[in-house]
């Protein structure tokens, strides 16, 4: 469990990946020996005609280019910058009053604010498609493991509300909605409620103790239809409060996203904590600050949401803008039993498809049946796997079915 809140702001070096799952090409602007400032654009990455800046999270000197594992488990080139611990920041214009959609969009591109939260239904901060609805999750983690830093929410409520409004401006959005936990502390709810007054932001509370796809249901209600997994194509921008605050800081204060909150959990770590950590910090540096690992024969390292995150084979990876949680736990193998046709996975599915039936069709390679069961509507939330009493990875079977029929 989370026992502490810590700061890790002065890593000796930071490692900035040049590419990721979506942006496959990079144009580097610095060489070994160059001096850089925090917030300085050191490279640009490209996806077709789309461009996002890669910025330095510290001031210091470029010392090398190294290949490391990224948060998705891929080996990519990283720019390595030695931190001079002076935190010299690039000076950029600040917008105190009303801003235009173009000003907000250009600032987000300039600061590389794109993929802030990766797992579950979260979208990129992307305006390539028309956006009608901006939805912001103030509950942080996706179900069924919900953890909220309510102190962060209370302390930054004004900036979060401002960020939501700025996203709405950039998107020309018709509606703006923030989702909160029905059982959140009154102080945090009051702070957020006061911050959104007169900003045309609707507040929706959900009972997060029930694993029922609550965020999907809110988004479908806001959009006025059952949405599919590609929310941006459905006209919905769905991000976390962390992203909203990054947007406000970037536009109002001219502050680049050089750090973010990351939860480090699991019985493999001697200390569990939420950190404010510099983007580009090595995970192993933080582990050392957490007094290291507990000894175990085999450990499991999981980045992101428990149901939809990524398992890595090495701890030599970097904490980037899209990493919000890392879990290290002793490996425990759960033996799968045969499917007992209980229907729990069908009952819990937020989009109303039938995972058990899809799994059965995939096992028998019946393509027509897979199509008839609307397999393409799966949003890969993982709830079917979570509720399965036979410990079957139902989600993986549904994913295979989706790949089979394209």
| Parent domain of 166 | 101-253
CATH of residue 120: 3.40.50
- Span 202-243, pLDDT tens digits: 999 988 776 667 888 899 999 999 887 789 999 999 999 999
Alpha helices in 197-343 (DSSP H): 214-223, 241-248, 283-289
Domain check: are 238 and 179 in the same one? yes
The answer to whether residue 47 is domain-embedded is yes
355 preceded by cis ω (within 30°)?
Answer: no
Q: Distance between alpha carbon 398 and the CA centroid of its chain, in Å? A: 23
Domain check: are 310 and 354 in the same one? no
The answer to whether residue 126 is domain-embedded is yes
d(CA 70, CA 389): 33
What are 53's strand-pairing partners? 44
Does the pLDDT of residue 89 top 90, yes or no? yes
Domain check: are 126 and 261 in the same one? no
Residue 148: C-alpha distances to residues 129, 138, 239, 323, 368 (Å): 31, 8, 15, 16, 43
- Span 164-210, pLDDT tens digits: 999 999 999 999 999 998 888 888 899 999 999 999 999 999 887 76
- Span 157-167, pLDDT tens digits: 999 999 999 99
pTM: predicted TM-score of the whole model, two decimal places: 0.87
Residue 103: C-alpha distances to residues 49, 110, 159, 352 (Å): 19, 10, 18, 40
Does the pLDDT of residue 7 top 90, yes or no? no
Given 330, 365, 390, the domain boundary residue is 330
Domain check: are 208 and 127 in the same one? yes
d(CA 389, CA 136): 32
Number of domains in the chain: 3
The answer to whether residue 339 is domain-embedded is no
pLDDT, mean over the chain: 89
Alpha helices in 125-232 (DSSP H): 150-155, 157-171, 186-196, 214-223
Token pair belonging to 220: 């479908």
Q: How many residues does the chain have?
A: 406
Neighbours of 128 (CB within 10 A): 12
């Amino acid at each position: 469990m989370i026992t502490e809140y810590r700061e890790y702001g002065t890593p000796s070096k930071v490692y900035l990946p040049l590419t990721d799952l979506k942006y496959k090409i990079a144009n580097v602007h610095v060489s070994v020996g160059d001096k850089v400032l925090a917030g300085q654009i050191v490279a640009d990455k490209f996806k077709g005609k789309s461009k996002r800046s890669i910025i330095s999270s510290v001031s210091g000197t470029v010392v090398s280019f190294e290949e490391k594992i990224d948060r998705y488990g891929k080996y990519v080139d990283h720019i390595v910058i030695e931190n001079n611990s002076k935190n010299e920041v690039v000076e950029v214009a600040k917008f105190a009053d009303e801003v235009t959609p173009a000003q907000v969009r250009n600032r987000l591109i300039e600061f590389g604010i794109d993929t802030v939260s990766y797992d579950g239904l979260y979208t990129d901060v992307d305006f390539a498609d028309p956006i009608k609805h901006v939805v912001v999750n103030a509950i942080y983690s996706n179900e069924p493991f919900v953890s909220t830093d309510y102190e962060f929410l209370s302390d930054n409520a004004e900036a979060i509300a401002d960020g939501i409004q700025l996203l709405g401006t950039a998107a020309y959005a018709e509606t703006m909605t923030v989702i909160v936990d029905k059982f959140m502390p009154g102080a945090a709810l009051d702070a957020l409620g006061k911050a959104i007054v007169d900003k045309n932001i609707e507040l929706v509370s959900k009972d997060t103790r029930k694993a029922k796809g609550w965020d999907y249901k809110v988004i479908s209600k806001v959009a006025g239809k059952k949405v599919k997994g590609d929310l941006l194509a459905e006209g919905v921008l769905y991000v976390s409060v962390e992203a909203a605050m990054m947007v406000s800081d970037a536009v109002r204060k001219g502050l680049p996203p050089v750090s973010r909150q990351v939860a480090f959990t699991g019985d493999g770590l001697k200390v569990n904590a939420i950190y404010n950590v510099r983007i580009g910090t090595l995970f192993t540096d933080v582990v050392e600050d957490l007094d290291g690992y507990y000894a175990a024969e085999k450990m499991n390292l999981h980045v992101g949401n428990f149901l939809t995150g990524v398992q890595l084979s090495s701890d030599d990876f970097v904490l980037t803008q899209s990493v919000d949680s890392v879990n290290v736990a002793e490996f425990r193998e759960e033996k799968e039993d045969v499917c007992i046709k209980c229907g729990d996975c069908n009952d819990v599915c937020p989009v109303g498809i039938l995972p058990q039936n899809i799994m059965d069709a995939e096992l028998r390679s019946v393509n027509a049946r897979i199509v008839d069961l609307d397999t393409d509507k799966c949003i890969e939330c993982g709830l079917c796997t979570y509720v399965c009493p036979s410990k079957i990875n139902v989600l993986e079977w549904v994913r295979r079915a989706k790949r089979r029929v394209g």
